[in-house]
Structure formats: C-alpha cells, structure tokens
Structure 1
Amino acid sequence: MASASVMLVQPKGELWEKIRVELNENVNTRDQDLATIKDWLKKQPHLPDEWDDRCLMSFLRGCNFSLEKCKKKLDMYFTMRSACPEFFANRDITRPELHDLMKRAQGPTMPGLTPSGRRVTICRALDKRMDPQNLNDAFKIAMMIGDVRLMEEIEGVAGDIYILDASVVSPSHLGKLSPSALKKFFICVQEAYPIKLKEVHVVNTTPLVETVYNIIKPFLKEKMRQRIHFHSSYTALHEYVPKELLPTEYGGTGSPLEEINNAWIKKLEEYKDWFKAQESLKANEALRPGKPTNYDELFGIDGSFRQLAID
C-alpha cells in the first residue's frame, strides 16, 4: 500500500516559487493576512470563533490572498456545513456503508504534482449499482478528502485537475440522479471550498455520457465548459496529464489506483476524531447579523441551477 507519508507530495524549489507567484502569496505578509482572517472570524457571531491555521491558510491561497473573497468563501463553507448534514455529519469512514462505498466508488487524489503545480484526482466507479443514498455518501467522501487536503496541503497547489471515468455509467443511473443533491454539491465545490478547478477530463465516454453532459451544460458558465475535455483513449489524456502522475489503470507509470485509494481510506481513518470535532463548527443562522440564509432560496431548483462562480 502507498504509505500516508508519500501522500500529497509538497512542492519545493522552482515549482514552489512558481506556485507562490500564481497564488499571489507573499511570504513576508501572509502571516499578517492570516491574523486578519482569524480576527475577522472571532468577530462573526454566527461563525466559529477559531479554526485550524492550516485550513485558514488553504482558504487564503485558494482565494489568491483576497481577504474579502476569503471571508465570503469561509462564510459559505460554514453555512454549507449547517445546511447539508447529509454531507457533513457522521463522517466516519469506518462506518460500513462509507467504507464499502469507497471501495466501490473510488475518488482519490494522487500524490504528485504536474509540472505546473496542479493536483490530480481520479474518480471511477467499479460497481454499476447506485441508489440516491450512494450519491450523497459519495459526495460526503469527496468532501472528507477535500477537508483533509485543507489540513495537509502545507504549501498549497496551483489548481486541481479531475479525471472522471464514465465506464460504468448506465441508463438506469439517469433516473437516480437527484438535482437537489447535485446542486448542493456544486455549490459546495465551487462556492464553499477554495478549489481552483483548472481541467476536467472525462474518459471512457459513450453517447450516454454526452446526454448527461448536455443536461448539465446549461448550468455551467462558458469558462467552465471550456475546461471540460472528453477522451475516447488514454493516449489523448496523456497529452494533458503526464503519465508519471497517472496510475497503471490509465496507462500511467504511477502506483495503481487501488493502492492510492487504500492509502486514502487509511488517512480518513486517522482523521476520525478530527471529523467528529468538526461537526460542531458550523454557521448558526440564528446569530447571523441581518437576514439569515434562506436554504430554500439557496438550493431552490426552479428549473435551473444558479450560475456558480468559477475561479
């Protein structure tokens, strides 16, 4: 198994310097920026008074050290923790339903970085069976990995690349997709997490995948649409992602995806107590200055998703 010590290899040398520039990070002033955000957090009656410095620094980096953008993202992050208990409660990977699902639907982040300093995450299902609860739990696991990265991306990265394997997508899945769950997940990823989504690659495409994409496409900004690529072969994928960063299952020279996934299961097990402690850190709408967040307005489908901001 890939050991936890080699997960999320951190940038150094010239790549570290390059990422600092891309993130607008000034090593001489970042501690002051962190102190400013911590002071702001203490003054928000509806938000937790304190949070881990590493998480806050991850938010600053994901927001290019824009203090106002960071405040907005943090507010939304803690709001989503309250609004979506199906994603943020009972986050214990040793629970049989979560542990089993992570074996059947893998979504691990790979340890290495691309030459431009981006992290690669690969999502694939190994089982065609799916029900609505599986979808919510899959989103829960994805955000558990995201939260671990808030803690363990010590130096920050220049963005994220997602590879989505559509090999087991079947017609039966279409009727089981919940627009409400999808929208909540999209809001979490795009508005609540400090993610810089640079590329999305869909592999093992079929005409059915095109149908699914055409359903989702109207909800995506043009900028996001331009970042989605479809590949009928792994050779085409290798033009975007170096083979050394890909597992053997995708024609790469890295560790097998199964090993990386097992290492992530172990890592999530190590964070069991941390996840439990995090459940109380969320927005309290009763204490929010001004108008409380209206979840019905935030998540209302009404025929279309709200346009989401894309970094």
Structure 2
Amino acid sequence: MASTATLIQPSGELWKKIREELNEDVNTRAQDLAAIKEWLRKQPHLPDEWEDACLMTFLRGCSFSLEKCKKKLDMYFTMRAACPEFFANRDVTRPELMDLLNRAQGPTLPGLTPQGRRVTIARALDKNLDTNQLNDVFKLAMMIGDVRLREEVEGIAGDVYVLDASILMPSHLAKISPAVLKKFFICIQEAYPVKLKEIHVINASPLVDVVFNIVKPFLKEKMKKRVFFHADVQCLQDYIPKEILPVEFGGNGCSLEDVNKAWMKKLEEYSPWFKQQEALKANEAMRPGKPTNYDELFGIDGSFRQLSID
C-alpha cells in the first residue's frame, strides 16, 4: 500500500535530460547548496538552517540561479508567517482535515510522464463540499507540496495538474473568497519552487469559466496560457499517457482512491515533522530594512510586492 505514495525518481537517460533542463551541474551543485546555506545563516529574519533536501529542491526549481533561489526562499518563509491558515495546525488527523480527505482527493501520482513531469489529480467527491473549507483544501495541497520538497530527491522536469470540475455547483460560487485564492496563488507562484507546465480542467462547464475569471487576475501571464479546458476525460490522454492515469480517469495506472489513502497515511506519518516545521518562518521584526506589509502583499488590487533580497 505504501508504495502508491512513493514518488518514483527519474533515472537513466531521463535523469540526464532533467539535469540539463534544470541547469544542474553535478560537479558544482554542492557548492551552490553551501552558498545558499551560508546566505540563510546570514539573514537575521530567516531560519538559520533547513534540510539540505528541501534547499536542493528550491535550487532545482530556480534552475540553480542563486538570486532567484534566495528570493523564493525568503518568500516561502514569509508566507509561512503571513498565512497561519495554510501553515499552522498541520495535523492530518484533525477531524476537519480527515473529513476533507474523505470528501475530496488531490494526491500527486507516483509515476513520471515521458518528459519527466509529475502529475497531481484533484477532484471533489461530494457536491455538498463547502467552499468555506478552501483554506483547509489549500493547507492539504501545501502539506503534500512540503513533503515533496523533501522527497523529490532527484528533481523533476515540472508539474502537471488535473482538476476535475464535475461537481462544481452554482451554490459554490457565492462562497469563493478571492482573498483566499490570491494568497494561495502567491504561495504557489512566488514561494514554492514549482515549475507548473500544464493545468488541465476536465468536465468543464460554463460555471468553470466563471471561476476561471475570478482566478485569472491572480495568475502570471505565462500561467494563463498553460490552462487547458476539456469537456470530458478522454482528451487527457493526448497529454498524459494511459500508463500513468488512474483507472478512474480512463487510464491503467493505479487507482486514485489507493494513491489518496497512501498519501493520507504518509501525511499522518509526517505529523511530527510538520509540527517541528511550524517554527521555521520569517520574523518580520528582524528583517533588515522595511518589514513586509501583509496588507500590501495581499491587497486584492495591488500587484504582488517584490521582496528585495540582498
């Protein structure tokens, strides 16, 4: 059972191809890592140290640009302080999170596409799912994201997300909070080392257009071009091989149900780690120069403020 949440790592030719794509030089990556660790120690407002595996995932996600990596890390720890609704109380055994995991699924699949990309599929199973639970939905998504910071030990060529909109109801729209969405998209685009290659929305209805119009202002230009809408599940096979797609989505990979259960178990095993990670966040009182103004950062009208990094 546990194997369905084990992320299969690239090897052989694919591994070599991904190294090139990530701009990763096996001979110099140790000194890049050392440089980032030294930089982190010198930032009075950031944690003094963090796990090598997580830092390496950031370097890869930033194509080994040290400047870009510093900016992302600063933003990552800033968001951890700014959004306790996403980053605190990350114990998957809490009743509200258990309830959510039984009514919705959003696991990352174990395999890789031929290009070396990782696929995550999200769908709700219960049309009475309350959109007030969005904070917890995003919390779970970032818990999986944080586990992957540790477990993507070889690096991947990017991420593909599949969102199943089949149970989207008109009643859901009234409760969608643009403020929550904006925070989430700042996290994903500015604070996580994710190379988002494609987002596929399946079972798209006219309601999906309405939701997309709410989300669109929070997406970077290049991201808007990477969102594809499909009326049904068949079209997915043009993008994702059948071997990877779960049986519920017309593929012959493992069942999404099984992968979801395995991730629930994995998140539970990670509970002590999540608890320990809570202390790792930016301390604005110690930030050199001007502290981050959260209102400015999340202002629904203002564009994302760029953090200045020395």
TM-score range, shorter chain: over 0.9
Distance 1:132 1:250 in 2: 24
Distance 1:103 1:287, change over 3 A: same
Offset from partner CA, 1:3-47 (integer Å, 9 cap, x none): 247611000000000000000000000000000000000000000
Q: Which residue is 2:81 aligned to?
A: 82
Segment of structure 1 superposing worse, 215-224 or 42-51: 215-224
Distance 1:5 1:125 in 2: 20
Q: Which residue is 1:198 aligned to?
A: 197
Q: CA deviation at 1:69?
A: 0.3
Q: Aligned runs of 1:43-122 on 2, under 5 Å?
A: 43-122=42-121
Distance 1:216 1:91 in 2: 25
* 1:26 corresponds to 2:21: no
Q: Which runs of 5+ in 2 are unaligned?
A: none
Q: CA deviation at 1:223?
A: 1.8
Q: CA deviation at 1:306?
A: 4.2
Offset from partner CA, 1:121-143 (integer Å, 9 cap, x none): 00000112233541000000000
Contact 1:183 1:305 in 2 (8 A): no
Contact 1:180 1:301 in 2 (8 A): yes
Distance 2:32 2:213 in 1: 42
Q: Please state whether the residue corresponding to 2:243 is helix, strand or coil.
A: helix
Q: CA deviation at 1:221?
A: 3.5
Q: Which residue is 1:239 aligned to?
A: 238
Distance 2:131 2:44 in 1: 35
Distance 2:218 2:139 in 1: 22
Q: Please state whether the residue corresponding to 1:245 is helix, strand or coil.
A: coil
Q: Which residue is 2:35 aligned to?
A: 36
Offset from partner CA, 1:42-65 (integer Å, 9 cap, x none): 000000001000000000000000
Paired residues, number:
306
Amino acid of the residue matched to residue 72 of structure 1? K
Q: Which residue is 1:230 aligned to?
A: 229
Q: Aligned runs of 1:91-170 on 2, under 5 Å?
A: 91-170=90-169
Distance 1:283 1:220 in 2: 25
Contact 1:4 1:267 in 2 (8 A): no
TM-score (norm 2): 0.96
Distance 1:217 1:133 in 2: 20
Q: Which residue is 1:290 aligned to?
A: 289
Distance 1:41 1:23 in 2: 22
**Sequence identity of aligned pairs in percent?**
71
Q: CA deviation at 1:149?
A: 0.0
Q: Which residue is 1:208 aligned to?
A: 207
Amino acid of the residue matched to residue 70 of structure 2? K
Distance 2:131 2:76 in 1: 23
Distance 1:89 1:132 in 2: 20
Amino acid of the residue matched to residue 259 of structure 2? I
TM-score (norm 1): 0.95
Q: CA deviation at 1:218?
A: 3.8
Q: CA deviation at 1:234?
A: 2.0
Q: Which residue is 1:186 aligned to?
A: 185
Offset from partner CA, 1:233-273 (integer Å, 9 cap, x none): 22211000101111001000011100000000011011000
Amino acid of the residue matched to residue 76 of structure 2? Y
Q: Which residue is 1:258 aligned to?
A: 257
Distance 2:139 2:5 in 1: 24
Q: Which residue is 1:9 aligned to?
A: 8
Offset from partner CA, 1:169-203 (integer Å, 9 cap, x none): 01111111111110110010000000000000000
Amino acid of the residue matched to residue 16 of structure 2? E
Distance 2:217 2:80 in 1: 27
Contact 2:181 2:215 in 1 (8 A): no
Q: CA deviation at 1:282?
A: 0.4
Q: Which residue is 1:278 aligned to?
A: 277
